[in-house]
Structure 1
Amino acid sequence: MGIVWSQFFPPKPTLTEANLPSQKGKVFIVTGGYSGVGFELCKILYQAGGKVYLAGRSEEKALQAIADIKTASPNSEGEIVFLSLKLDDLTTIKPAVEKFMSTESRLDVLFNNAGVSNPPLGSISTQGHELQLATNCLGHHLLTQLLLPTLRQTAHNESPASARVIWLSSIIVDTTSAHGVNLEEFLRRDTGMNRNYENSKVGNWFLANDLAKQAGSDGILSVVVNPGNLKSNLTRHFPSWVPYLVAPLLYHPIMGAYSQLWAAFSPELTISDGGSIFCLGGEFIPSPGRICYKR
């Protein structure tokens, strides 16, 4: 429970916009980049001079976010581009990847950041999958697999672990990971949406671990990040009283962005860390199936 408790009182971040090296010439994709953690992450990467693809379903929200990000860093040498895709509609993902690959020959970090939590009971994706499974796991899995050729090329041209895939998980993994994932629960109409959310976040861990096994030998580092307890749109489907009750325990979304920054750029991480879950400050759980903690 040490890591769970630490997320209520997170350590000081070691990598922020203040000391992130220049990212000029590097290319990033951030899903769900126009709000919350994703927005803060896009803002930092753009400020550092990177080329950022802000991926999401709403062009209107994305363009507004892009305008706000550019206003916040008027002297940046970075670029930021909207990439249209809907993670809960698998037919939109291949066209998005094709559009990206028609322009880019490298991808330094893919941030599988977007997520949905506790939508109305019975919510499903375009293909009929439970909405949280579809958005948090299936869509990101397909996106990652289609982008693997570009990630492999980037890793080949750079050093091992320079190309990375960051999966955003949740503190809920620390309390449910021992139970694994029960796919049957996604198919039952009476399964609670909170339980399905837990399954999807543990699922992110398993997907990251499998990708580490699949692509680690190609120099691609795949890790999971627990962003911490944050004030974000992720709680929009909860009863109205819940955000007020837990507000004193929540932090600004930028703290979640700092967690992802560390996982994406820390030179401390190597290919052998693939499949691990990291929290702010570098605490980690190595891989599904064996639980231990390290400061």
Structure 2
Amino acid sequence: MNWTTDSIPDQAGRLALITGANSGLGLETARALLAKGATVVLGCRSLPRAELAKDELQAAAASGGGAVELLELDLASLACVRRAAAEFADRYGRLDLLINNAGLMALPRQLTPDGFEMQLGVNHLGHFALTLALLPLLSDRPNARVVSVTSGAQYFGRIAFDDLQGERRYDRWAAYGQSKLANVMFALELQQRLRDQGQAVLSLAAHPGFARTNLQLASVAANGSWFEPLAYRLMGPLLQSAAMGALPQLFAATAPEATPGGHYGPNQFGGMRGWPTEVRIAPAALDADQRQRLWQRSEELTALGLA
């Protein structure tokens, strides 16, 4: 039997923080959790857009008994990440689900306020810093989970340790693949470190397959490409909805059968679309030495550590 949003267990009393929740996968994930009774905090860079999403989600919140709230969170800025984490801790003092969903795709080279290549800074380092700052709120919660959302780009990704920020050579798709591979490596290494510390928090990863979201539009707009819009139109029949694309991360976040360090994605057409299932991890992410090296470098860059 296929796993759908109807399969999600009751989430009443649980508190979830979803990054990038004002559109696409994050919005659909919030909608599903609200319908099952969770309180969902939308962690978004733009509060006006978050307000629009909140208005749209009120019906799901009302019908499911959950509640939707907002948190200003710009993952490109470590100062903002730390401020948001502190605000979240002061406001709630607990957390059950952290879904690291926000992301950028295939942008021309830009730098974050902290001087990081933008895709690595937002997709990996911002979430790395946020997760470590919020772990104390998760540590004593039953069935607490951290879900890192990656993509199929992990399979061609490579961590360029000698040029992480693309200063000597920059390819926007290679930078995206690096950041998505980093998401999986982080999820696996976090699970290992939590296990070593005897913590029950689960760390998992998920990818949406080929889903229709704002990522494609943002990438096209940023690059001014004539070819990419044509390619996306030609591939249109393969694209699945954002609601379907959100199912793997919802499975990772809620399914009782999801396993520590598990990685979930669609089950059809080589992981491009379909229902959630356990899927293969990029071979590069299975190298424990490389994962530890990335973790150490990420600690150095974000000046945060796992206590």
| Fold shared by both chains (TM-score > 0.5) | yes
Partner of 2:194: 215
* RMSD over equivalenced CA pairs, Å: 1.8
Deviations 1:216-266 (CA, angstroms, capped at 9, x unpaired): 330111111111110111112133323212211110001121111111112
Pick from 139, 150, 165: which aligns with 2:126?
Answer: 139
Deviates more, 1:97-106 or 1:137-146: 97-106
- Over residues 3-43 of structure 1, what are the superposed CA-to-partner deviations in whole Å (9 max), with x where a residue is unaligned? xxxxxxxxx74031x23222110000000000000000111
Give the alignment partner of residue 59 of structure 1, picking from 38, 41, 47. 47
- The structure-2 alpha-carbon separation of the partners of 1:245 and 1:185, relative to structure 1 and needing over 3 Å to count, comes to farther
Give the TM-score normalised by structure 2.
Answer: 0.81
SS at match of 1:80: strand
Shift of 1:95: 1.3
Matched to 2:17, the amino acid is I
After superposition, residues 98-109 of structure 1 pair within 5 angstroms as: 98-109=86-97
Instruction: Go from structure 1 to structure 2 and tell me whether the alpha carbon gap of 1:149 and 1:74 turns closer, same or farther (over 3 Å shift).
Output: closer
Matched, 1:69 2:69: no
Contact 2:35 2:61 in 1 (8 A): yes
Alpha-carbon distance between aligned partners in 1 of 2:237 and 2:258, rounded to the nearest angstrom: 32
Q: Tell me which residue corresponds to 1:283.
A: 278
Alpha-carbon distance between aligned partners in 2 of 1:185 and 1:219, rounded to the nearest angstrom: 32
Choose which of 169, 174, 180 in structure 2 pairs with 1:190. Answer: 169
| Amino acid of the structure 1 residue aligned with 2:147 | I
Unpaired runs of 5+ residues, structure 2, are 267-275, 288-307
Residue 15 in 1 paired to residue 4 in 2?
A: yes
Give the TM-score, by structure 1 length: 0.85
Q: In 1, are the aligned partners of 2:61 and 2:67 still within 8 Å (CA)?
A: no
Structure 2 counterpart of 1:237, which letter? Answer: S
User: 2:164 and 2:83 mapped to 1: Cα distance?
Assistant: 31
1:169 aligned residue = 150
Q: Measured at CA, do residues 101 and 284 of structure 1 come closer, stay the same or move farther in structure 2, by a change above 3 Å?
A: same
**Deviation for aligned residue 1:73:** 5.0
Contact 1:24 1:78 in 2 (8 A): yes
SS at match of 1:110: strand
1:218 aligned counterpart, secondary structure? coil
Q: 1:251 aligns with which of 235, 240, 246?
A: 240
Distance 1:189 1:247, change over 3 A: farther
Q: Provide the rounded CA distance (Å) in 1 between the counterparts of 2:63 and 2:177.
A: 41
Q: Which residue of 2 aligns with 1:227?
A: 208
Task: Give unpaired runs (5+ residues) of structure 1.
Answer: 1-11, 291-295
Contact 2:9 2:254 survives alignment (8 Å): no
Indicate yes or no: 2:159 matched with 1:181.
Answer: yes
Deviation track 1:172-220 (CA, whole Å, cap 9, x = no partner) reads: 223x25xx41131523253111100000000101111111112133011
Q: Determine the C-alpha separation between the residues in 1 that align with 2:97 and 2:63.
A: 23
Distance 1:27 1:73 in 2: 13
Instruction: Please give the secondary structure, in 2, of the residue aligned with 1:82.
Output: strand
Measure, in 1, the Cα distance between the counterparts of 2:65 and 2:81. 28
Q: Does 1:237 align with 2:222?
A: no
Residue 25 of structure 2 is matched in structure 1 by 37
**Match of 2:94, SS?**
coil
Query: Relative to 1, partners in 2 of residues 1:151 and 1:72: Cα closer, same or farther, differing over 3 Å?
Result: closer
SS at match of 1:75: helix
* Alpha-carbon contact 2:109-2:170 (below 8 Å) kept: no
Q: Is the 8 A contact 2:37 2:61 kept in 1?
A: no
Deviations 1:45-101 (A, max 9, x none): 111111101001100000000001113554331111111010001110111111111
In structure 1, distance between residues paired with 2:164 and 2:131: 25
Matched residue type, 1:92: C
Aligned mates of 2:2, 2:147 — CA distance in 1: 17
